[in-house]
Structure 1
């Protein structure tokens, strides 16, 4: 297997300024409206609850829109990402919005080493993060290391059922693995979802799927207690072109019989204090 970190880093370094300039990430709206939140955070705000004063870390934070949104809800946020170019954009967003966020450059598997163990009340992971990791069990162990006793994991992610579909087929058909696999899926895609006109030079990516049962088992195996698992029929981007309709929240679901597809999920888990 090629060095997936270097391959994916080059791809995300190139995507970062394109995404920051796109309407999808809405940097201008963040700057103009102090109450504006990313669609992902807005969708899950009822499940997040009151996070005022919590020390949080956003793993694989990309250009920081979800990170800044969590800070706007009162959390003291840290962001971590593999791509330094993405962090440059994230720091610019934080500066332009007057938001105090501490950003760090590192592979997510080194998060506890870089940020320190047992320091966080909240570990947050947003949509499109776990697919870049070869081992979900190793990731879950890092989450446990980061959390203090009583701390919480919060995930909103694309559903592995969705990741297994070939989005270029109409109707979408099963093509890719549902379960975790040793060798990465290698894609050569010169386009990025945030700007269909942009052409990427570093177009190769390496990714993996992880079944929902594997994710749940990894989280529990790392010592966390699951407190919520909700599957949704929508995602915050046009995942299946020509087959989905967007709602007022910016969530896309199948135009016909959306109940057929589990498109995303929200999972929460807690690191219980040690008794005795």
Structure 2
């Protein structure tokens, strides 16, 4: 089902859902693993390796990093553990409180900013060497032109933008079908897709506020929004694995999940874009 809903209403509804997810994800994300000082989230292990060729000296240590849509901060504190000076941004006060608590427990410094990502430039102080976002982010946003403007505005000259997220063609698939079956729009028309699902992608618990709104964005729109905002595209890649189980048919592989081997090369699961601000 789709709806031409206002952004304020959709954002408020989605925030209620994400507030409900906080305790479920605190339990599901194995936060005790971070007690090992050498531990990094699997997402950050993958993303740091992908960013390395584009970073000064191949490392993020010593750089100012803004993590947009940071949720409970597991990836943000992993970036801090890698030596970055981090600022985590999210619209969920519960998620940011959880993130701040995790950072304090680990003795890691971080700044946390509660704001809608589409207003991030006005809410976040300073500019950054790297703006980072990864996994499950921009489908929650109706306006990618405005999003890309925030990214560009947060970057200092020469700064790097990195995103890895679920591929738009993946989100067009019916995750419960017996095969790779397209059921949802690949191309967006500005209308929100309405979901009523009490489950979440991690853990076995359920949320009270089950309704959410998401928007389809084809890969061309994502790339064009960044170019229009003034960024130079350096690298685009499509991947075959995901850090969460999208479908019951996906199977566990190192650092994530993938379609059965016979289908693995038929459809991408993620895309990665690396861009620079001139």
Q: State the TM bucket, normalised to the shorter chain.
A: over 0.9
Q: Distance in 2 between matches of 1:216 and 1:254?
A: 29
Is the Cα–Cα contact under 8 Å of residues 258 and 264 in structure 2 kept in the other structure?
no
Equivalent residue for 2:194, pick from 166, 186, 189: 186
Matches within 5 A, 1:16-31: 16-22=22-28, 25-31=29-35
Aligned pairs, number: 266
Q: Deviations over 1:120-158 (max 9, x none)?
A: 110000100001000111100110011000001000110
Is the Cα–Cα contact under 8 Å of residues 158 and 264 in structure 1 kept in the other structure?
yes
1:141 lines up with 2:172 in the alignment? no
**Distance change in 2, residues 1:253/1:76 (3 Å):** farther
Q: Distance in 2 between matches of 1:37 and 1:158?
A: 21
Q: Which moved more, 1:244-253 or 1:94-103?
A: 244-253
SS at match of 1:165: coil
Q: Distance in 1 between matches of 2:125 and 2:97?
A: 22
Aligned to 1:59: 68
Q: Distance in 2 between matches of 1:222 and 1:249?
A: 33
Is the Cα–Cα contact under 8 Å of residues 241 and 256 in structure 2 kept in the other structure?
no
Q: Deviations over 1:183-229 (max 9, x none)?
A: 10000001112122x12110000001111111111110100001111
Q: Which moved more, 1:175-184 or 1:107-116?
A: 175-184
**Distance change in 2, residues 1:95/1:253 (3 Å):** farther
Q: Distance in 1 between matches of 2:196 and 2:15?
A: 14
Q: Distance in 2 between matches of 1:236 and 1:159?
A: 13
Q: Cα distance, 1:46 vs. partner?
A: 1.6
Q: Distance in 2 between matches of 1:62 and 1:102?
A: 13
Q: Which moved more, 1:57-66 or 1:37-46?
A: 37-46
Q: Cα distance, 1:26 vs. partner?
A: 1.9
Q: Deviations over 1:221-269 (max 9, x none)?
A: 100001111100111111121x222112234333423001110011100
Equivalent residue for 2:266, pick from 251, 257, 260: 260
Is the Cα–Cα contact under 8 Å of residues 244 and 255 in structure 1 kept in the other structure?
no
Q: Distance in 1 between matches of 2:232 and 2:260?
A: 32
Structure 1 runs not aligned, ≥5 long: none
**Distance change in 2, residues 1:171/1:253 (3 Å):** closer
Q: Deviations over 1:33-62 (max 9, x none)?
A: 111111111122222221111101000000
Matches within 5 A, 1:1-276: 1-2=5-6, 3-22=9-28, 25-31=29-35, 33-49=36-52, 50-116=59-125, 119-196=127-204, 198-241=205-248, 243-272=249-278
Is the Cα–Cα contact under 8 Å of residues 172 and 240 in structure 1 kept in the other structure?
no
Q: Distance in 2 between matches of 1:15 and 1:124?
A: 22
SS at match of 1:99: coil
Q: Distance in 1 between matches of 2:223 and 2:172?
A: 18
